[in-house]
Amino acid sequence: MRDYEIYTTVQNESLNIRGDRGEDEFRDKLVEMLSDDQFKVLNNIYIPSTNEKYLGQIDSLLIGKRNIYVIEIKKWKGKIEGDLSDLEWIVENNKDPKRKSPYYQNKYHVKEVRKLVSYLLPKESQIMNAIINMERDAVFNIRNSDRELIFDDVEQLLELIKEIENKEASIITPEVNDKIINKILQRHFELLEEMEFKINKKLLAKHNLEYISGN
């Protein structure tokens, strides 16, 4: 939708389409590799943004048996260089090679998810920041001294998640799982309605249409 594009953080249309393709590829791989039905996945979830004009967006949120994974999916071509502490990474396949660090960007997403659901989670559970570049035609050179979940191979990432989740017994019960999902979806719809209200108000006034509530 045109008006959503204006209000979300994604502004470059070609990048947007590439990103969407990456997200679809990731979704298919995830379904293929994570065979346990206790894994629940929410794709494209809205969260508040630092800038009130925009909506933040989580590409994929994976709720496992022990932890939650907030996954940022990229489809960046070329040589990608940077450090965990860098605010920007260098992607050598572009006129403007500096791109916002997805790790840094996703840190904020993790913080928002923590605010929402940490009271529901058992103490041992973690909310993890995971970055995956789905582009095969890329040289990923990110200095990852803290061994964070930053990968350019989707199978490696999903295998690691499987390993972490299967190492010990499940601690997130199906009831808690449902509560987490409901809480996240509830926030998603609240933000969606807020944003629609803003867009509607502006557009309706412009086109002399009556205001219709988002409810």
Residue with tokens 């293929």: 32
Give the integer Cα–Cα distance in Å for 146 and 3.
39
- Residue (124 or 178) nearer to other proteins, CB: 178
Q: Nearest-CA neighbor of 59 among 14, 90, 18, 116? A: 18
Q: Which is nearer to other proteins, 91 or 127 (CB)?
A: 127
Which helix (H) or strand (E) covers residue 98, if one does? strand 98-100
Comparing CB distances to other proteins, the nearer of 74 and 188 is 188
User: Least CB distance from residue 90 to other proteins, whole Å?
Assistant: 28
Residues of the shown chain interacting with other proteins in the complex, contacts defined by CB under 8 A: 1, 3-4, 20, 23-24, 27, 30-31, 34-37, 39-46, 62, 181, 185, 188-189, 192-193, 196, 199-200, 203-204, 207, 209, 212-214
In this structure, are residues 132 and 151 in contact, taking their beta carbons and an 8 Å threshold?
A: yes
Give the nearer residue to other proteins in terms of CB position, either 62 or 128.
62
Residue linked to tokens 């199906």: 174
The minimum distance between CB 203 and other proteins, in angstroms, equals 6
What single-letter amino acid sits at 169?
A: A
CB of 74 to other proteins, least distance (A): 15
